[in-house]
């Protein structure tokens, strides 16, 4: 079964919705206009609407035939603080804010599925359409879970979908186990003794210590992490000094850690502390280390991934469904929903598009061609998982 005909018939409508949302991007927890549009559309389709979970979050509730089953489908709504580089009619109307991650498309695909499922109701039980705010680093998914998402809307499984540039349009990638990485952020303050740049022997140089710490941190993945496990340690900020002739008192370092397993995550955090503190001490300076967890890993459960794969195969054909793509070291706050309920997060191919650029690039744009494919995947997943008795 390819794309559902009744969904293909609303392709033009979905394209118009997607471009309207694209033209009016909103940052995390500020999705006032977007969530109002989502709520209004869901109501017009006959879907019951709950607003205000995690500030701008929206949940649609749709009952099919009587049945005890209940699943949740999640889309994200927020945009990024990026100046759009595209010259298209639906270009962002807000300078410095753009939908560079395709959340405009995710919202639209879930709306398309909601419209079809509300019209047909060819399922038994309950579907929850979860439109979350603030996926881009602000923890909207975590906020929804903490505010009782699954207590108010008792789904037994939760499913997510993200577009993926580089995967051909409409192809779908599924994977059991980790799909996206855990993200930690660290800061290191190196304190020395400031001195005249011409008389280094009168101080303890925090710049040299910081430089050696940056290099030393690269030994953690190379020498401490099991070579068969995945990990990334990237120093992404160095701040220190104000003058050519002054050795500063302190230097600040910061960066990110990505891992798939909690034990690797803990090992890296402990080693950042060890390397930074001891390297600093060896040079007569002192390092204060702070490692903070941001997102856990996004880990798909086996049963739900098998169900997601079956639905994907039904829509696009088994030859266009991949179960062997490598996971990504990026992170995703759908991870919090997967910690609360079993489920599966899939990628839908966005193609490379004219600019050939990846997510979070000023030249990125969601590919409207795949809107009916994604909406059909959602609808098919519901009709299979909550199959009505015939």
State the nearest-atom distance from the C-beta of 195 to Ni ion, in Å.
47
Contact between 134 and Ni ion (CB under 5 A)?
Answer: no
**DSSP type of residue 168:** P
State the nearest-atom distance from the C-beta of 7 to Ni ion, in Å.
23
Contact between 100 and Ni ion (CB under 5 A)?
Answer: no
State the nearest-atom distance from the C-beta of 102 to Ni ion, in Å.
6
In terms of CB distance, is 101 or 379 closer to Ni ion? 101
Residues β-bridged to residue 277: none
State the nearest-atom distance from the C-beta of 361 to Ni ion, in Å.
12
Contact between 101 and Ni ion (CB under 5 A)?
Answer: yes
Contact between 79 and Ni ion (CB under 5 A)?
Answer: no
From 99-107, 224-232, 236-244, 289-297, span contacting Ni ion (CB under 5 A): 99-107
Range 198-257, binding Ni ion (CB under 5 A): none
In terms of CB distance, is 38 or 101 closer to Ni ion? 101
State the nearest-atom distance from the C-beta of 101 to Ni ion, in Å.
3
CA distances from 262 to 132, 181, 184, 231, 265 (A): 26, 10, 11, 11, 5
Q: Is 322 within 8 Å of 174 (Cβ atoms)? A: yes
State the nearest-atom distance from the C-beta of 236 to Ni ion, in Å.
19
Q: Is 328 within 8 Å of 180 (Cβ atoms)? A: yes
Helix, strand, or coil (residue 258): strand
Token reading at 67: 């049945």
| Residue, CB closest to Ni ion | 101
Q: Strand 250-259 to strand 231-239: parallel, antiparallel, or no bridges (unpaired)?
A: antiparallel
Contact between 161 and Ni ion (CB under 5 A)?
Answer: no
Supply angle C-alpha 114, 153, 117, rounded to 5: 15
Q: Is 287 within 8 Å of 252 (Cβ atoms)? A: no
In terms of CB distance, is 160 or 203 closer to Ni ion? 160
CA separation for the pair 215, 11 (Å, rounded): 52
Contact between 110 and Ni ion (CB under 5 A)?
Answer: no
Token reading at 293: 């967890």
In terms of CB distance, is 58 or 101 closer to Ni ion? 101
Task: Please list, in sequence order, all residues whose beta carbon lies within 8 angstroms of the beta carbon of residue 36, skipping any fewer than 6 positions away.
Answer: none
Contact between 179 and Ni ion (CB under 5 A)?
Answer: no
- Which stretches of the chain bind Ni ion, using CB under 5 A? 101
């Amino acid at each position: 079964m390819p794309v559902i005909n009744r969904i293909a018939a609303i392709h033009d409508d979905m394209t118009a919705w997607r471009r309207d949302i694209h033209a009016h991007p909103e940052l995390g927890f500020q999705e006032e206009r977007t969530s109002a549009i989502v709520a209004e559309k869901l109501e017009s389709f006959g879907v019951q609407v709950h607003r205000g979970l995690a500030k701008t979050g929206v949940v649609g509730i749709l009952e099919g035939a009587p049945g005890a089953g209940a699943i949740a489908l999640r889309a994200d709504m927020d945009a990024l603080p990026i100046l759009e580089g595209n010259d298209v009619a639906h270009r962002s109307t807000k300078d410095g804010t753009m939908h560079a991650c395709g959340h405009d498309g995710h919202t639209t695909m879930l709306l398309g599925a909601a419209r079809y499922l509300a019209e047909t109701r060819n399922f038994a039980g309950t579907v929850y359409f979860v439109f979350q705010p603030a996926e881009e680093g602000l923890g909207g998914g975590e906020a929804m879970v903490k505010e009782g998402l699954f207590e108010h809307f008792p789904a037994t499984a939760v499913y997510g979908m993200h577009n993926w540039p580089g995967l051909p349009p409409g192809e779908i990638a599924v994977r059991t186990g980790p799909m996206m990485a855990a993200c930690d952020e660290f800061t290191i303050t190196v304190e020395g003794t400031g001195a005249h740049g011409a008389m280094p022997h009168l101080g303890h140089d925090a710049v040299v210590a910081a430089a050696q710490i940056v290099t030393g941190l690269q030994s953690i993945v190379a020498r401490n992490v099991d070579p068969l496990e995945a990990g990334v340690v990237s120093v992404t900020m160095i701040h220190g000094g104000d003058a050519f002739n002054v050795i500063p008192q302190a230097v600040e370092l910061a960066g990110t850690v990505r891992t798939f397993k909690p034990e690797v995550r803990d090992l890296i955090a402990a080693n950042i502390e060890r390397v930074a503190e001891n390297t600093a001490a060896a040079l007569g300076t002192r390092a204060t280390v702070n490692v903070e967890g941001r997102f856990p890993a996004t880990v798909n459960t086996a049963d739900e991934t098998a169900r997601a794969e079956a639905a994907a195969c039904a829509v696009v054909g088994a030859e266009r469904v991949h179960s062997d793509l490598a996971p990504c070291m990026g992170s995703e706050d759908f991870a919090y929903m997967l910690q609360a309920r079993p489920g599966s997060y899939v990628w839908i191919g966005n193609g490379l598009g004219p600019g050939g650029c990846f997510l979070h690039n000023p030249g990125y744009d969601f590919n409207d061609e795949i809107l009916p494919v994604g909406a059909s995947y959602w609808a098919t997943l519901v009709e299979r998982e909550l199959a009505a008795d015939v």
